Chain A
Amino acid sequence: QQQVKQSPQSLIVQKGGISIINCAYENTAFDYFPWYQQFPGKGPALLIAIRPDVSEKKEGRFTISFNKSAKQFSLHIMDSQPGDSATYFCAASKGTGANNLFFGTGTRLTVIP
């Protein structure tokens, strides 16, 4: 059973456009929601993370929007660039133990020039 559901599976965006990736979860005990970015042939790397006490977190062109009542969170990439082409994973966990970090199935983003 997938603890975190991620969509879309793949996404193609024009350079300069906005990329939006969505995730949903069921377990209300989750209290940490990170996004990881993975380039081909590399391991995932933490991009940005949010806790449920805020509805939005922004770091440069990357923004997480969090809707606690709907149990959904999303990643927005503003002014998307070809260098943003990668696979993005959302994840969720409860407590501080990373043994309980559940990942979404990933979104392959392609930004075309």
Chain B
Amino acid sequence: NAGVTQTPKFQVLKTGQSMTLQCAQDMNHNSMYWYRQDPGMGLRLIYYSASEGTTDKGEVPNGYNVSRLNKREFSLRLESAAPSQTSVYFCASRTGVGNTIYFGEGSWLTVV
């Protein structure tokens, strides 16, 4: 049981480049999330998808887009990367019942 799987694990981008972070979960969860983690800032919600076919902005959505491809997959896209987007990105999912969020292992992104 893999849980929440993110790819890539590490990525270096040049300013202005685009890329997509992929996320898949095999727990049949309805809700999926993208967070970013920065030193001294905790975890901040970028976008979430309460169910297949819906997406909503979180606390820090600027500069990002998302796609809920199907129930399993939720991708995060940076259209024009900026150094301020250097961060660790976590995908997460949640069952329809209760508040437990399950996180992936993270994607380390550096924008130079």
Residues of A with Cβ closer than 8 Å to B? 2, 4, 6, 9, 32, 34, 41-46, 49, 89, 93, 96-99, 101, 103-106
Contact yes or no, A44 B103, CB < 8 A: yes
Q: With CB as the reference atom, state the residue of chain A lying closest to B47.
A: A99
User: What's the A-B contact tally at a CB cutoff of 8 Å?
Assistant: 60
Q: With CB as the reference atom, state the residue of chain A lying closest to B105.
A: A43
Contacting residues, chain A, for B105 (C-beta < 8 A)? 41-43
Q: With CB as the reference atom, state the residue of chain A lying closest to B48.
A: A99
Contact yes or no, B98 A96, CB < 8 A: yes
Contact yes or no, A43 B99, CB < 8 A: no
Q: Complex Cα distance A32/B100, Å?
A: 10
Residues of B with Cβ closer than 8 Å to A? 4, 31, 33, 40-45, 48, 50, 56, 58, 90, 92, 94, 98-106
Apart from A89-B43, A103-B43, A105-B40, 12 more pairs, CB < 8 Å? A4-B42, A41-B105, A43-B90, A43-B103, A43-B104, A43-B106, A44-B43, A44-B103, A45-B103, A46-B102, A99-B50, A103-B44
Shortest B46–chain A CB gap in Å is 11
Contacting residues, chain B, for A45 (C-beta < 8 A)? 102-103
Contacting residues, chain A, for B44 (C-beta < 8 A)? 103
Contact yes or no, A44 B99, CB < 8 A: no
* Nearest 5 interchain pairs by C-beta: A43-B103, A103-B42, A103-B43, A105-B42, A98-B94
